Amino acid sequence: MCMSAMDSDRFSMPAEEYLAHHHVLTYMEDAISQLLTFKEDNPKVNPATFLREYFCSIRDGSHTAFREYKFVSATPHNRASFIKAFWKSFSNVGKSGALLNVREYHSLLCLLCPNFPIEVVQKTAGIIFMEDALDSLTSFSDFIYAFQIQFYFEDFLKVCSEMYLHLLSAPSPREAVYIPSETSPRQEKKPHHRSDQQPTLDGVDATQFRDALIKECTGAEFSCPSRTSLHCILDPANRVTFYGFLMALAKSESINGEIGNLPPKGGLFDDCDSELSSPLSSAR
């Protein structure tokens, strides 16, 4: 008898670990809360039908539409589903060739999540423009792939930033350190730079950065790119800047495939029409 990957995953870990890994209790608590809220105005609602519609919406990824940010950002599946909902809802912006700024993209996001924080959109702009450029214009395709990285990997990016700054402030292994001996006069060795050399190298050592990230990601509870993707991005370079790393994440087709809700960039506007609905409106 052939066992599916999902069944294998279910039987390979303890029950409590499985429930936590898939955030089952999060969805159960939300389902009951949503049912009680809906029942206040619809006392004749069939609980079984409502719960069936609720969990079908989770399976289909339509469950985050018009929900509050706390729920939208609660699980990796919710984040990925919200990214897909945003793409399907506003792909016509990209088809039209319109260029929007941070505030305009934030307004679109708020149509799906009324309290979506503008800070996430500003950080997305930082991936595209290397700064919080509120008035800079960008295309829908550039925005959504950068937004996917910022929103889905938000906790991972915080770790990346901390690790990058730590490596940036650490002494470079290339710098010579002068240690005076007992027989030599005590003096301070000043670094000498040739006129054709930069006094400091840009970025950090890519191998050190990669190894530090892989170590932090091992056993992490937040979403991280795979080791394979990190190797593909960082192995070819000797040194890497944080901005360059963020751009590489946003452009990586392998990471886009790992998240699994957006098509390759060349097919972003193919077959993306859909109608979003809330389980509250579909229950009978």
Q: Specify whether the CB–CB gap between 81 and 278 falls below 8 A.
A: no
- Reading the block at residue 142, the tokens are 């550039």
Neighbours of 121 (CB within 10 A): 26
pLDDT at 249: 97
Query: How does pLDDT run along the chain (284 residues), one tens digit per residue?
Result: 344 444 555 567 788 888 888 899 999 999 999 999 999 999 999 999 999 999 999 999 999 999 999 999 999 999 999 999 999 999 998 888 899 999 999 999 999 999 999 999 999 999 998 765 678 899 999 999 999 999 999 999 999 999 999 998 876 555 433 344 444 443 444 444 444 433 345 899 999 999 999 999 998 889 999 999 999 999 999 999 999 999 999 999 999 999 999 999 888 888 655 555 554 545 54
165-174: long-range pairs with CB below 8 Å, 24+:
166/212, 167/204, 167/205, 167/208, 167/209, 167/212, 168/203, 168/204, 172/201, 173/205, 174/201
**Cα separation values, 256 from 68, 129, 205, 270, Å:** 25, 20, 25, 16
CA atoms within 13 A on the CB side of 166: 10
pLDDT at 59: 94
pLDDT at 213: 96
- DSSP character string of 65-98: TT--HHHHTSSHHHHHHHHHHHHHHHHHHHHHT-
Cα–Cα dist 163/224, whole Å: 14
pLDDT at 188: 42
pLDDT at 83: 97
Cα–Cα dist 113/134, whole Å: 20
Q: How many helices (H) and strands (E) does the chain have?
A: 15, 2
pTM of the model: 0.80
- Reading the block at residue 249, the tokens are 């994440």
**Cα separation values, 166 from 126, 145, 172, 175, 224, Å:** 20, 27, 12, 17, 19
Cα–Cα dist 112/108, whole Å: 7
